[in-house]
């Protein structure tokens, strides 16, 4: 399948690690230019250098997505460097799940800022550039908890549900400009967040993944490459009529369609 991503420019937030890094690498392999951001400079630069060294085109911009001035700089530098923007993947995030009564006002605000307001602010900055090239694609990376919030799954499940409503409403506003907006709801995917969990809990990575699998009908955690393949498809012209979808990427785990 030809994804026709040559000469396209895609922004990926949280591109220094895990799913964001895998996505940037896959998009670059398919011929897209990628602009990636994260707070930590070293890993971010290493991902961009790896892509550039293998013949791809990557720009790394150190960015905290919760800061509007950083987001503005990310978009401005991308335009200066690549001259256009065709797609945005709002991926930066981190796990936050605990019982309702344990969550402080500060944590609610922090989680919504990282997973919800950042996507709003960056989308607003990017939309004029998508219009300028005749349309484009915005993908919000969410989690299955947004559809099926479990006990002690907050604040994340609530931020993700907000992100899902945002995606749907935006798809209706922006369809007239040929801008597609979709959400990908993740179950469990191999990534650096699980590596850190293994280190914190003194388990092997295999033990962490084995602990996640009993609820997954396909019997395993997803690979980051499989996630990246889905994102590359959604960004591409092959998904030209796909908009307003909240796609489960969970091996059949979620109780909701």
Where on the chain is the footprint of ligand NAP (CB under 6 A)? Answer: 13-14, 16-20, 37-40, 63-66, 91-95, 114, 141, 143, 186, 188-189, 191-193
Q: Which is nearer to ligand NAP, 133 or 212 (CB)?
A: 212
The SS3 assignment for 142 reads strand
Residue partners of 112: CB distance under 8 A and separation at least 6: 155, 159, 162
- To the nearest whole angstrom, how small is the minimum distance from the Cβ of residue 178 to ligand NAP? 26
Q: Which is nearer to ligand NAP, 30 or 111 (CB)?
A: 111
Q: Which two tokens stand for residue 118?
A: 């950042």
Q: Are 231 and 139 in contact (CB under 8 A)?
A: yes
Q: Which is nearer to ligand NAP, 39 or 84 (CB)?
A: 39
- To the nearest whole angstrom, how small is the minimum distance from the Cβ of residue 49 to ligand NAP? 15
Q: Half-sphere exposure (CA, 13 Å, Cβ side) for 50? A: 16
Q: Which is nearer to ligand NAP, 114 or 174 (CB)?
A: 114
C-alpha triplet 32, 29, 5: angle, nearest 5°: 30
Q: Which is nearer to ligand NAP, 83 or 252 (CB)?
A: 252
Q: Are 197 and 208 in contact (CB under 8 A)?
A: yes
CA trace torsion 109, 111, 115, 120 (10° rounding): 0
- To the nearest whole angstrom, how small is the minimum distance from the Cβ of residue 183 to ligand NAP? 11
- To the nearest whole angstrom, how small is the minimum distance from the Cβ of residue 3 to ligand NAP? 21
- To the nearest whole angstrom, how small is the minimum distance from the Cβ of residue 101 to ligand NAP? 23
């Amino acid at each position: 399948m030809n994804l026709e991503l040559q000469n396209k420019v895609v922004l990926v937030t949280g591109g220094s690690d895990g799913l964001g890094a895998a996505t940037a690498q896959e998009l670059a392999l398919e011929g897209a230019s990628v602009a990636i951001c994260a707070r930590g400079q070293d890993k971010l630069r290493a991902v961009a250098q790896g892509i550039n060294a293998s013949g791809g085109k990557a720009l790394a911009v150190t960015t905290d997505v919760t800061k509007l001035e950083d987001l503005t700089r990310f978009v401005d530098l991308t335009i200066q460097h690549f001259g256009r923007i065709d797609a945005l993947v709002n991926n930066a995030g981190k796990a936050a799940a605990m019982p309702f009564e344990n969550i402080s006002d500060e944590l609610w605000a922090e989680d919504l800022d990282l997973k919800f307001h950042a996507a709003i602010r960056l989308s607003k900055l990017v939309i004029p550039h998508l219009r300028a090239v005749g349309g484009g694609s915005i993908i919000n990376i969410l989690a299955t908890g947004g559809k099926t919030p479990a006990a002690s799954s907050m604040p994340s499940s609530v931020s993700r549900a907000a992100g899902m409503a945002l995606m749907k409403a935006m798809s209706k506003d922006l369809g007239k400009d040929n801008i597609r907006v979709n959400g990908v709801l993740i179950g469990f995917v191999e990534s650096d967040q699980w590596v850190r969990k293994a280190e914190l809990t003194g388990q092997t990575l295999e033990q962490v993944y084995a602990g996640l699998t009993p609820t997954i009908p396909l019997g395993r955690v997803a690979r980051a490459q499989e996630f990246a393949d889905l994102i590359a498809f959604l960004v591409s012209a092959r998904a030209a009529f796909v908009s307003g979808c909240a796609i489960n990427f969970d091996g059949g785990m979620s109780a909701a369609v």
